[in-house]
Structure 1
Amino acid sequence: MALVEGNGPANGIERRSWMERIPAGYWLVGFVLLVMPTFASNFVLFQIFGWTFILGIIALSLMFLGGYGGMVSLAQMTVAGCAGYMLAIFGPSAITDISMNWPWYISIPIALALATLFGTLTGWLAVRTEGIYTIMITLAIAAAFFYFTRQNYVIFNGFSGFNGVLPPNLFGVDWRGATAFYYLTLFWAAVAYFAVLYLSRSPFGLALQGVRDNQRRMSALGYNANAHRVAAYAFAALLAGVGGILLTWQSAQISPGTAGISPAIDILVITVIGGMRRPIGSFIGAFIYVILKTFALDALVALGLSGERFQLLIGLSFLIIVFWSPDGILGLWDRWKENRNKDPLLDRGGGTP
């Protein structure tokens, strides 16, 4: 590479590897997550962080659609529930009259494939609308899936759903144990995060963002806007399907309530609270939601208030964060850093010192 006076690259720009471009804080967080089982309790590993990673993956699928594609879907939890149901139907469960008890290397791919197909068909319908109509179509699909699974006893076992849906015992490891499940969910959360990060910078991701910003111009350049949007729904459905399988394994059951209207809206709240523009925001929002869901409910009961007021607390938190920052917690963080870095002399009109 040609150098200018021996001081650097010819273009004057320092070339850094991808590892050097990762902020130091990310390395610190990654190290803490890897060693977490050495000092955290089983409850924290399984219930707090395991649940956070799972909800984060599902919220990440919505973040990908909304942040990069400009599409808001309320059916991502429904897609996750579809994957969980397919896993219970084709794999083993306690409902032996319905479950086919196929091995994991068949039931898991089938569950993911059908969930992805379901999400793709949802996207195929949704991309033909815009704005509030897209939200209403995905909400209608979520409601239809909820009531269909609740009333169908032949395939979905009605209101009760399936229980005893456990992860396979591979390599002699109980993957529902606290430490093993923690690392399982951490691994798939990392895979989903880096997959979204990579895809957002790929030609497909850049084209999708172009369609989001100016569909007419992208169409004039020869891009098929609807095809890109449907493909985005397919990828988001795959992410939600992975989260749905992990969620089913965590609770060892799947029922209509898992993919009901309230959980679907919760995913939207998680995504918005964390921030719709960056993938890490989905996991931040999921962590905040899990902390509130786990501890705020007990605090309300201790104060003599109804546990149902928890939804009111979530709603107030959502309104406060959105009011101060439309980009969620990450937006507040960016604003704080921007204000911190401002020169007070410039703010007072004193000019450059």
Structure 2
Amino acid sequence: MALAESNPATKVRDVRERGWFERIPAGYWVVCIALLIMPAFASEFTLYQVFGWSFILGMISLSLMFLGGYGGMVSLVQMSVAGLAGYMVAIFGDSAITDISLGWPWYIAIPLALVVAIFFGTVVGSLAVRTEGIYTIMITLAVAAAFFYFTRQNYAVFNGFSGFNGVLPPNLFGVDWRQSIPFYYLTLFWAAVAYFAVLYISRAPFGLALQGVRDNPRRMAALGYNVNAHRIAAYAFAALIAGTGGILLTWQSAQISPGTAGIGPAIDILVIAVIGGMSRPIGPFIGAFIYVLLKTFAIDVLLSVGLSGERFQLLIGLGFLAIVFFSPDGLLGLWDRWQDYRKRDPLLDRGEDRL
């Protein structure tokens, strides 16, 4: 009986016979319930500024994680894609800059903004996939820099340095979505959609083929797969996620300007993804939550001890270096190491033979 219970094949069969509901770890349910009831005990500032901002940055970083983790492509243009979607929803929809904004209804402005963002991401992807390694990073960084300077100097379409303000979400179902609780649930919903979409795609035939392209592109090409087409499609899907996050980011601050999608924010998205971990979709949200906590409260802590608030970026940099040094896979890697350490057999550690 003991041998039957310890048989790995029997355990695998038992897991497969259980429904998907039973296979979800208990910790996931605890997190989901906590997020759903968060407005019952969290302040409006925490809901709107901390969690809302974390969900948005997590979505944009998730688009980078999808490209890097599953496709092996590090892109620094994801914040530019998000910024372009924010600009488009301001131009096609309503804003305080009535001379430029077209004032189209939300059901036209939002889809068009996402289409433009996807097109932009696809074009950038079609250029970036022709390179590898550091050259891909440099091309996407150059595009991000060009987008920043173009939006800052163009007044006819992007209103130059000032950008757009008064960009508000539509008043659907009689709800003001910029209020703390509605906005919290709005960002939570789309963050969950993006998370499960990436999780599903990673296990679908396209995602598996993309991971094969990441590991051995020559072998995948020999098997008949179009390597560049898979990579470009990955850029398009990542642009959809980043564009959605960019629209939510514009609604949160009610404005969009060149600084929103500058070089600094583009690097911040990379830092967030790396800190959380690039191996699983939950990593970017963990990194975003830590980043938002530091950016929200670290300055006050520094000022309280007599240091300049400008040293905040130094704290982010030191934390980034420490995490990368001890765990290239970010905080998820540290968690996996700790779990492996807990499961380690002390008898084997002492070199004793259990037989």
Q: Where in structure 1 do 4 or more consecutive aligned residues deviate above 4 Å?
A: 9-12
Q: 2-side partners of 1:74 and 1:308: how far apart?
A: 24
Bigger drift between 193-202 and 341-350 goes to 341-350
Aligned residue for 1:19, secondary structure, equals helix
Q: 2-side partners of 1:37 and 1:298: how far apart?
A: 25
Match of 1:13 in 2: 13
| 1:345 CA drift (Å) | 1.2
Q: 2-side partners of 1:348 and 1:41: how far apart?
A: 50
Provide the aligned length of Structure 1 versus Structure 2: 346
Letter in 2 for 1:38: A
| 1:12 CA drift (Å) | 7.4
Q: For 1:221-236, what aligned pairs fall within 5 Å after superposition? A: 221-236=223-238
Letter in 1 for 2:21: M
Q: 1-side partners of 2:251 and 2:21: how far apart?
A: 34
Residue 259 (str. 1) matches residue 261 (str. 2): yes
Q: 1-side partners of 2:300 and 2:97: how far apart?
A: 33
**Which segments of 5 or more consecutive residues in structure 1 lack a partner in the other structure?**
1-8
Match of 1:287 in 2: 289
Match of 1:249 in 2: 251
Match of 1:3 in 2: none
Q: Deviations over 1:160-207 (max 9, x none)?
A: 000000000000000000000000000000000000000000000000
Match of 1:92 in 2: 94
Aligned residue for 2:13, secondary structure, equals coil
Letter in 1 for 2:193: V
Residue 58 (str. 1) matches residue 50 (str. 2): no
| 1:303 CA drift (Å) | 2.1
Report percent identity of matched pairs.
78
Q: 2-side partners of 1:256 and 1:64: how far apart?
A: 25
TM-score, with length taken from structure 2: 0.96
Match of 1:329 in 2: 331
| 1:13 CA drift (Å) | 1.0
Alpha-carbon spacing, 1:336–1:61, altered in 2? closer, same or farther (3 Å):
same
Q: 1-side partners of 2:34 and 2:251: how far apart?
A: 25
Match of 1:129 in 2: 131
Aligned residue for 2:132, secondary structure, equals coil
Residue 339 (str. 1) matches residue 331 (str. 2): no
Larger helix proportion, structure 1 or 2? 2
**1:316 aligned to which of 315, 318, 326:** 318
| 1:304 CA drift (Å) | 2.3
Q: 1-side partners of 2:45 and 2:181: how far apart?
A: 10
Letter in 2 for 1:273: I
| 1:94 CA drift (Å) | 0.3
Q: 2-side partners of 1:252 and 1:16: how far apart?
A: 47
Alpha-carbon spacing, 1:345–1:262, altered in 2? closer, same or farther (3 Å):
same
Cα RMSD (Å) of the superposition? 1.4
